Structure 1
Amino acid sequence: MYQLLSNRSFLRLLFVVNLLGAIYGYIWYIPQLQITEARFWLFVPDSPTAIFVFSYLYLLLF
């Protein structure tokens, strides 16, 4: 498992997949996010914001 997490190609793929998942999640949740104030988006169940924040933090750390 450690070898997989130390592989730079795998980590880049992980980042891209999570980022694409977040983008698709926003498209999927458009109806819910339109009726929710932006400041509450983080608290929408299964919101893609969590995946986006993970991807952003991942980008900052690596």
Structure 2
Amino acid sequence: MRATSAARFAFVAELAAFHFVTEWVLVLSWVGRRGHFHREGFNPATGSPTATLLRLHPSRRPHRGMRQ
């Protein structure tokens, strides 16, 4: 049985809408669990000590010789 392009389009549109709604439900449920999500600039890793280290950039100066 061959699907018409209208039926195919309807299926793809429904799938996209389902994906969009599912993603937002996941985001909203995650935000509900972590109340400080909005206050801290939408950074999901905020609050963990590793997050600060990951945001640091390495020095551009080479580390050869004596350090000051």
Q: For this structure pair, what is the TM-score category when the shorter chain's length is used for normalisation?
A: 0.3 to 0.5
Structure number with greater CO (CA < 8 Å, separation at least 6) is 1
| More helix by percentage | 1
The TM-score normalised by the length of structure 1 is 0.40
**Rg larger in 1 or in 2?**
2
